[in-house]
Structure 1
Amino acid sequence: MAGPVNWGILGAAKFAREHMGPAIHAASGARLAALATRDPDKAAPFRAFCPDLVVHDNYHALLADPVIAAVYIPLPNHMHVEWTLKALAAGKHVLCEKPITLREAEFDDLIAARDAAGTLAAEAYMIVHHPQWQHARDMVQSGAIGALRHVTGAVSFDNRDMANIRNQAASGGGGLRDIGVYVFGSTRFVTGQEPLSLSARIDWENGVDTFADMHATFEGFTYNAYTSIRMHPYQEMCFHGEAGLIRLTAPFNAGVFGEARVEWHKPGLEVEVKRFPAANHYVLQVEAFCRSVREGIAYPCPLEFSRGTQAMIDQALASGADG
């Protein structure tokens, strides 16, 4: 493919308006070309930074647009599989917000559709594109902290708006599906391992998990993490080895939650800090996606990787189903 990849967005979601729309517009090798929304007023903020944006009044029209090569899907969770399959059937490359499925088994259809279409489909798991996570992975896997023995993680925010889709079971809401992908997927990304066992204790409200305390065993190390959508905002990941510790202070919302930093706690209580103040993982994600589309190189976060994270989410939800 020559020239930039032309993108369309299905739905004028707040996250697309504030983060991914601007990221697609800013990314090298990408061009934000179209938006699908029935409400013209919702298109106005997108046109403010992308004046030549074409606005379709329905999703099918955008998928039929021959100019569009790639589609970004920020729809509610329960609509992700349906519209990813429709976009693939239309011959589009697809980047879909997490979680791309609500159950691991649904990946069978997505992978089959991706392979049949010969296009790229991926979950929008942006953190693997951030240099802080690539640096953390390199340090852990190079033995900088010695043998890894324990991983801890936490991510929380306070959302008590019952009209919000994160608090609606029918829309695939709940903390684990919204933010569990971070504490699970980041551990898998850094270590390259899958859990041997996993258990969870979960607090439920109206069919939605609001707090989850997870414990797992991996080959050579143990793991515990929690997620909550009813607590003060907080996030952190630590990888604790025999000879040191790696701590990420704004691991999942770098630039919004705080500066992206990787702390390397060395023997003798020395701490070396590497900062990443300028990196935008949303832009980096789009650029990586476009490189894979144009050049055919392997995408850093394929569906097969995302499937493993969804398997952990499924295990945690099943383990904590009795509350």
Structure 2
Amino acid sequence: MRATRVPPPDGDTMARTTIHWGVLGAAAIATQRTMPALQLAPSATLMALASRDLAKGQAAAQALGIPKVYASYDALLDDPEIDAVYVPLPNQLHFEWSVRALEAGKHVLCEKPLCLTADQVQQLCEVRDRTGKHIEEGFGFRNHPQWARFDELLAADAIGPVRAAHATLAKQFLDPKDVRNDPNAGGGALYDLGSYAVSACNLVFKRPPLRVVAALEYDPVFRIDRVSSALLDYGDAHAALTVATQAGPDGWGTHQQLSVLGGHGWLRFDFPYAQARPTACHIEVGDHTSVGYFPNQSLEFEPVNQYVLQVERFSRLLLGQAVPSWPIEDALGTLRTIEALFASSRSGGWVALPTGG
């Protein structure tokens, strides 16, 4: 987490204690996770929902008690009462509607992946700077207290300098109608689960990798990568990851793990990324005296709703309060990494990431 450029609240916002939110689309992530979170967050007020399927939008609004329903996204963006919008649309629409929202004078919280190309992220950075509005990528996991504790452990030299990280995410996504199985909609393991793994590794090392190499296995029918493995070279440290959309469990959550190897110890998360349901979790730490898989210390975290934490923090940021934030330059590093992984799979060799903004 880091400081980022956020404009001061305007006069209307300063007169209120909450941010007025609108949502573009009635996707499941919105109706089941983020819109309920917007209603629970003290600094947020959910004002409006837009859906191109008006009947679907009206049903969702009635179920959730949302006062305004629009039949088009543009109509919601034209509403002067809306301060910020949440964009949970299919991946290939994230860039277009984030740009349009920023241009309409709204702050934006967009689902991951923020875009499908690094070039699109760079264009979003330019629009953000020109409009003076704030935009973030919706990685709820970064708001979980375990990640702040992780930073504290590294700062305290609990495991020494980080030498390597290993990340895994897997789940059964077998529905042909699932957008994750549509290559034209940014489907596949790397764009979906891989964005978590790459983002988390970059959080661990505080920077993107220098070069990457990957092996991808494709579904012959869906034509998406269903098992993707990679090695990320950070120069003086490495990360390895595997993400899979046809492996592991078929329950309400993905299989996920993250382990970090330090110069004189190690640690591992047992639920590091997206928590579809608030769940107790742990960071286990092994020092220089540990053996095998057995930790010397286990840090437990009570169940928290990451989506509530995310929209509350974002809203407080817009209200001018000093809270953490993650600029979309982080997404630039993630997308450059994913693009390089696809290129590596095609070439069969290492691919260097571009540098600079």
The TM tier, using the shorter chain, reads: over 0.9
- How far apart are 1:297 and its partner, in Å? 4.9
Question: Would the alpha carbon gap of residues 117 and 257 (structure 1) be closer, same or farther in structure 2, given more than 3 Å must change?
Answer: same
Mapped contact 2:86–2:109 kept (Cα < 8 A): yes
Question: Would the alpha carbon gap of residues 83 and 43 (structure 1) be closer, same or farther in structure 2, given more than 3 Å must change?
Answer: same
CA offsets per residue over residues 223-252 of structure 1, 9 Å max, x none? 111000010131000001132111000111
Match status 1:252 vs 2:273? yes
Q: Which moved more, 1:206-215 or 1:81-90?
A: 206-215
How many residue pairs get aligned? The number is 322
Match status 1:229 vs 2:245? yes
Helix, strand or coil for the counterpart of 2:330? helix
Distance 1:56 1:144 in 2: 52
- How far apart are 1:147 and its partner, in Å? 2.3
Match status 1:40 vs 2:40? no
Matches within 5 A, 1:172-183: 172-183=186-197
Matches within 5 A, 1:41-56: 41-49=56-64, 51-56=65-70
Helix, strand or coil for the counterpart of 1:302? coil
Give the partner amino acid of 2:63.
A
Q: 1:211 aligns with which of 220, 227, 238?
A: 227
Give the partner amino acid of 1:48.
A
- How far apart are 1:317 and its partner, in Å? 1.3
Helix, strand or coil for the counterpart of 1:133? helix
Specify every segment of 5 or more residues in structure 2 that has no aligned partner in the other structure, as ranges. Answer: 1-12, 250-254, 349-357
**Identity value in percent:** 31
- Name the residue aligned to 2:162: 148
Matches within 5 A, 1:1-323: 1-2=13-14, 3=16, 4-37=18-51, 38-49=53-64, 51-205=65-219, 206-233=222-249, 234-254=255-275, 256=277, 258-269=279-290, 270-295=295-320, 297=322, 300-321=325-346
Q: Which moved more, 1:199-208 or 1:152-161?
A: 199-208
**TM-score of the aligned structures, taking structure 2 as reference length:** 0.86
Q: Which moved more, 1:117-126 or 1:264-273?
A: 264-273
- How far apart are 1:149 and its partner, in Å? 1.7
Q: Which moved more, 1:131-140 or 1:40-49?
A: 40-49
- How far apart are 1:213 and its partner, in Å? 0.7
Give the partner amino acid of 1:210.
R
**TM-score of the aligned structures, taking structure 1 as reference length:** 0.94
Larger strand percent: 1
- How far apart are 1:296 and its partner, in Å? 6.7
- How far apart are 1:48 and its partner, in Å? 2.6
Mapped contact 1:193–1:219 kept (Cα < 8 A): no
Distance 2:157 2:235 in 1: 16
- Name the residue aligned to 2:6: none
- Name the residue aligned to 2:9: none
Mapped contact 1:250–1:257 kept (Cα < 8 A): no
- How far apart are 1:85 and its partner, in Å? 0.7
Distance 1:39 1:140 in 2: 49
Q: What RMSD, in angstroms, separates the aligned Cα atoms of the two structures?
A: 1.8
Specify every segment of 5 or more residues in structure 1 that has no aligned partner in the other structure, as ranges. Answer: none
Q: Which moved more, 1:8-17 or 1:282-291?
A: 282-291
- How far apart are 1:293 and its partner, in Å? 1.1
Helix, strand or coil for the counterpart of 2:226? strand
Mapped contact 2:109–2:137 kept (Cα < 8 A): yes
- How far apart are 1:123 and its partner, in Å? 0.8
CA offsets per residue over residues 9-56 of structure 1, 9 Å max, x none? 00000110110111111112100110001232444344333x242111
Distance 2:226 2:347 in 1: 14
The runs of 4+ residues in structure 1 deviating greater than 6 Å are: none
